[in-house]
Structure 1
Amino acid sequence: MKLSEGVEAAIHCATLLAQLEEGRTMPASALAEYHGVSPSYLLKHLKAMASAGILESVSGPHGGYRLARRPEAITLLDVLFAIEGRQPAFRCAEIRQRGPGALEPETYVKPCGINVAMLKAEQAYRAVLRETTLVSIISGYQAEADPRAIAFGCAFVERHQRPQT
């Protein structure tokens, strides 16, 4: 399974926005700069997260994005669903019922074993994402990251956050 790069960008943006002071915002252009991605590409994902209630979009001269909920209330599964949708990654097309060896449709009363296994695996990885919050990601990063990277990130947020609206 391969998730889009948008999922990675969205999670990184959400963790950066979690560092903003209360009531402040950060423009999409700064988020794109920090992560080295195209602003137009990132904007699509920021809008999706705002539609999902993860981010709040604030308009005006001091506008930008901020978290719509506390970071401990946002899971990686929330972000995944906002970017990729809720459909399972694996979608069984029942190809066992095609080709020269296919039998009558009523022969296939039991679910495809491949589909069952893939959906079971999806449930397992979604369970991990459901219990992983932004706070746990941030805490792990702060405990293990190079202090220079943390200092850079803090300074970047300080420079680019916009005043309260």
Structure 2
Amino acid sequence: MTACTAQLAQHFDLPPAYLAKQLARLVRAGVLSGTTGPRGGFRLGRPPAQITVLDVVEAIDGPGNPYQCREIRRQGRGALPPQECSERCALAVAMDAAHAAWQGSLRSVSVAELIESLPAEIPERNRRLLTLGAGSD
């Protein structure tokens, strides 16, 4: 089943321009495939078992670690001398470990698993409502 940006925006009550930007990112990452034209729309770019939650998150937010160490230990009146800052600070090390654990957790869950965890009526309800929306445009 394919759904167009307008249908999806209306279905999820999102601004169409915002959703179009996110969908374009997902297409570039191969999570979705898109087709243009009157019968165009979006569908998964790979089988759901081959798409991880991390694939989706990184397609939207990028692959980088959101924590950026500011090296405040080198600033101000209490600044440490450079030779005492040759190793990364303890907070940066802890944040890197947390980010790696978060990535591992999201990498271990597929879109197929998310779908399987939903009550059976939810995917069918969404398909039905999106199909109805397609006919009403």
Using structure 1 for the length normalisation, give the TM-score: 0.76
Aligned position for 2:90 = 113
Amino acid at match of 2:75: R
Which aligned pairs between 1:21-100 and structure 2 lie closer than 5 A? 25-100=2-77
Hey, what's the Cα distance between the residues in 2 that align with 1:87 and 1:110? 21
The 8 Å contact of residues 49 and 110 in structure 2, kept in 1 or not, is answered as yes
* Runs of 4+ with deviation above 6 angstroms: none
Residue by residue over 1:18-57, the C-alpha shift from the partner in whole angstroms, topping out at 9 and shown as x without a partner, is xx2xxxx210111111111111110000000111111111
Distance in 2 (CA, whole Å) between partners of 1:152 and 1:54 is 22
Question: TM-score, with normalisation over the residues of structure 2?
Answer: 0.90
AA at the equivalent of 1:57: G
Are 2:93 and 1:132 equivalent residues in the alignment? no
CA RMSD of aligned residues (A): 1.7
Q: Distance in 2 between matches of 1:133 and 1:150?
A: 16
> Distance in 2 between the 1:43 and 1:57 partners?
11
List gaps (5 residues or longer) in structure 2: none
Q: Distance in 1 between matches of 2:55 and 2:134?
A: 24
Q: Distance in 2 between matches of 1:80 and 1:69?
A: 16
Identify which of 104, 125, 136 aligns with 1:152: 125
Aligned residue for 2:64, secondary structure, equals coil
